[in-house]
Amino acid sequence: MPDQTDQPPASLRALLIDRLGHSGLAPEVRALLSELLPEDRSKDVGGTVGPVELRSITAAGWRGIGPRTTLELPPGPGLVVVAGPNGSGKSSFAEAAETAITGHNSRWEGRRAGDWQKGWRNLHSPDVTPEVGVELAVGKRGELVTVRRSWHGAKVDDARTEVRAVDGSERKLEEVLDAEALDLARPFLPYSELGSMINGTLGNLHDAFFKLLGLELLAEFDDRVKVAASECEKLIKRADSLTGQLLEELNSLSDLRAREAAQALSGPKPDVGRVRALLDSRVPAAEAELARLRQYASLAGPDPREVDGTVARLRGAAAAAEEARYGSAEEARRLAGLLESALEHQRRSGSSDCPVCGTQGQLDRAWAQQARAEVERLRTEAVVAEAARKEATVAVRAAHDLVQPVPVWLRGEASPLASVWQEWAQCRDVTHPMELANRVERAAAVLDDACRQVREDAALRLSEHDGAWRPVAVRLSEWLGAAEAAEAARDRRKHARKARTWLRPIIDELRDERLRPFAQRSQGVWQKLCEHSSVVLGSVTLAGTPGRGKVELGVSVDDMDAPAYSVMSQGELHSLALSLFLPRATHEASPFGFLVIDDPVQSMDPEKVEGLARVLDSCARSRQVVVFTHDTRLQQAIVHLGIKATVLRVTRQTDSVVGVEPLTDPVDQALAEARAVSLDPGLPRDVAEHVLPAMCRVAVEAACLEAVRHTLREQGLGLGKIEQRVASLDRTKSYVSLALLGDERQHAREAVERICRGGWALVEAFNAGSHAPLPSVDERKDLVRRTKALATAILRGAGNRQAGGAR
């Protein structure tokens, strides 16, 4: 599967401008679209951080891993299979890598904390400080960097992350790992997500694809056009509402001007010009005075409810800042750092003597416990102090935003109102939250009272000036502004509707064009995984916008459209999840040169396992692909298909002691284990006479299985058929007969003796369970030597038989 996705050379904005130029739309519509078209603010997913490769995963006191254990990984692209039975600790490594790099564990997402987060600390190693870490190769030069996350408290959130270069210097996490890239091209697929990621509308995947493909500009453009039409609609509705209210009031007056205004407002379309002429017919001097009175009559000071809320927030922020024990978060962190350094000195030196004053036994275990508790308290107080400082800053800014300057028309007046308002405006110069709260509370109350008095006086004077007409004229003037705005909005709304009608199919077309390579890659992965399935994955499309979108999947069964989730088996659902995950995780803009996939084999039939091996092999040509599995079928498929892979075996002993070792050829491994036992001079005789022959039998049967699988594979049998065939074998003679003669029911004595003299005696001894005495190390070594000769002869004999059959 290629790792590159061809992208159009032109930006989306350039494509939209080109389409707009050839749209044939009216000039007004084109002008509106050009006005609303956003600037292109897209950036590379990888940011400024270079490529990242995974070199090792380390865990201690974490999940199923007790003492510190490291999983070393081969560098560069390639397939790595980490195998081990359930409970061996292999998934703990996968979760350790994810937690160290992202700070989160997908296993716990959406789960009840009480049930799922209790098991994060290893139960067998209470004295081991829990930690997870990865060694990464960062940038084009492959600089080695360690990301380590350790826990200093009892809660899973009581952790901190430390990043260090190979020379020991400290680095910032954002210099090594791009947070946006982790979100958009996340290289982890835990088993918990194989099922969960395909439930619902795939909203997170939809939003990730939108950002990966740079489609946010399309969503913003569509939203701007929609908002433009909506704003026009609001202006029109406001004018219509004012018209109805004014008509009711005008019809209740006997004034000639009111009747004329009512006639102008009546009918399907109000006469804006007639209303304007009616309002302009007044005496200029009197009109200026009325205008001034109208300004005073509509004057509004600060909203008391907003003031009360702002003052309460300021005082709360001030109190929180005052309650913080330390003057600053930096001071608390500095003190915590000093204590941590002392703890680190104690741990490394192993001495309890104080390095400062030399007092012996001062830094004992009790001191260490108190120091750790103090570190945790200091860091908590640092967080509280920092939060209090930020809240105080935000509260002060909100208060400053509430304080409005003196209105332009009121400036320069030598009036009590102007003076009071000036005092209110000066509140913006105060930055201390408690002082600002007191100033705002006092000044707002005074200004609100002054504004109320001015409004009442102005309203009385307006009423006395012209009786009942003047208040109506004021509202009629307000209506005139709203009607003129609505008149312009009607044309703009028409243009906006035409613009959106043209824009929606263009957006869908450009979105599908950008998504097409990903959809094709998803279909390619699906075809490899589900080659023999009757379910076909067709189109993969995005519907909606970020935050409100979904991924739509075209699925058919025997050429009939069907809902995806209802017709797929569990194995097909897992295959679908992989089909959607891999194109996203292997996007060319992703800085991650690795993928970590946990237990993808479950619920897959043999054909899908073969398809999975091919898909992983394709990805591994350009990336490091690390797959964790307890299912041996993936290893069998890799061998069956001749895929190059590194296989690591994870084993778990008592007390969560986890080991990792390369998994070599099963015949060589079985012989090596038998040879190690044979050379042990302290091995009791009765143990040697029972254990060693059984180990030799395993080596012979492994050689037979390898020969059988090779032979049957050359005959064209698939992995499933082969495993069914070998599953029926229950005796060593059956293994040998099938390996050498192609039929487990035939007697293979002559064939064995022909390729290895004395080999049949070994086979009979293994099969019967009766073994000759092995009193000495030399006799044990001889048994292993003869077993190796027989195993080698079986492999060679099966190969010769196959070659002869081919001739």
pLDDT in tens, 618-666: 999 999 999 999 888 888 888 878 789 999 988 888 888 888 888 777 8
The pLDDT of residue 194 is above 70? no
Q: Looking at residues 1-9, what average pLDDT do you find?
A: 45
| DSSP H or E segment with residue 53 | strand 52-60
The pLDDT of residue 140 is above 70? yes
Find residue 161's DSSP bridge partners.
149
The pLDDT of residue 587 is above 60? yes
pLDDT tens for residues 11-38? Answer: 788 888 888 888 899 999 999 999 988 8
238 contacts 486 by C-beta, under 8 angstroms:
yes
Domain spans of the chain, in order of start = 42-187+590-663, 304-452, 665-806
113-127, 196-210, 686-700: least confident range: 196-210
pLDDT, position 789: 92
pLDDT, position 804: 44
66 contacts 125 by C-beta, under 8 angstroms:
yes
pLDDT tens for residues 223-253? Answer: 899 999 999 999 999 988 988 888 888 888 7
Q: Looking at residues 779-803, what average pLDDT do you find?
A: 79
Provide long-range contacts, Cβ within 8 A and 24+ apart, for 683-688: 685/773, 685/774, 685/775, 688/774, 688/780
The confidence band for 683, taking pLDDT boundaries of 50, 70 and 90, is confident
CA distances from 298 to 292, 425, 468, 646 (A): 10, 19, 17, 80
- Helices (H) then strands (E): counts for the chain: 29, 14
50 contacts 139 by C-beta, under 8 angstroms:
yes
Token pair 């190693």: residue: 125
The confidence band for 149, taking pLDDT boundaries of 50, 70 and 90, is very high
- Average pLDDT in the chain: 80
CA-wise closest residue to 82 among 720, 724, 638: 638
pLDDT tens for residues 310-341? Answer: 889 888 888 877 766 545 666 766 776 777 77
CA distances from 507 to 220, 496, 545, 625 (A): 11, 16, 11, 35
CA distances from 195 to 94, 108, 189, 386, 522 (A): 17, 14, 11, 40, 17
pLDDT tens for residues 265-312? Answer: 887 888 888 888 877 765 344 456 667 777 888 888 888 888 898 889
- Top pLDDT among 636 and 131 is at 131
pLDDT, position 661: 86
- Top pLDDT among 356 and 570 is at 570
pLDDT tens for residues 531-568? Answer: 777 677 766 766 766 666 677 677 677 666 656 556 67
Q: What are phi and psi of 654, to 5 degrees?
A: -65, 155
pLDDT, position 524: 84
pLDDT, position 136: 94
The pLDDT of residue 684 is above 60? yes
- Top pLDDT among 700 and 741 is at 700
539-543, 569-573, 624-628, 691-695: least confident range: 539-543
Half-sphere exposure of 272 (CA within 13 A, CB side): 14
The confidence band for 398, taking pLDDT boundaries of 50, 70 and 90, is confident
The pLDDT of residue 510 is above 90? no
Tokens for 423, please give them: 């005092």
Q: What are phi and psi of 5, to 5 degrees?
A: -120, 120
pLDDT, position 408: 81
**How much helix, strand and coil, in percent to the nearest 5, is found in the chain?**
60, 10, 30
pLDDT tens for residues 67-89? Answer: 999 999 999 899 999 988 888 88
| DSSP H or E segment with residue 144 | strand 143-151
640 contacts 709 by C-beta, under 8 angstroms:
yes
The confidence band for 208, taking pLDDT boundaries of 50, 70 and 90, is low
pLDDT, position 630: 86
Tell me whether residue 654 is exposed, middle or buried, using C-beta atoms within 10 angstroms of its C-beta: 0 to 12, 13 to 18, 19 or more: exposed
- The angle formed by the CA atoms of residues 753, 757 and 763, to the nearest 5 degrees, is 65
pLDDT, position 396: 87
pLDDT, position 770: 47
pLDDT, position 775: 63
- Centroid of chain to Cα 697: 49
CATH classification of 42-187+590-663 is 3.40.50.300, yes or no? yes
Q: How far apart are alpha carbons 564 and 575 in whole angstroms?
A: 12
DSSP for residue 47:
T
277-291, 692-706, 722-736: least confident range: 277-291
Entry pTM: 0.60
Query: What is the amino acid identity at position 147?
Result: V
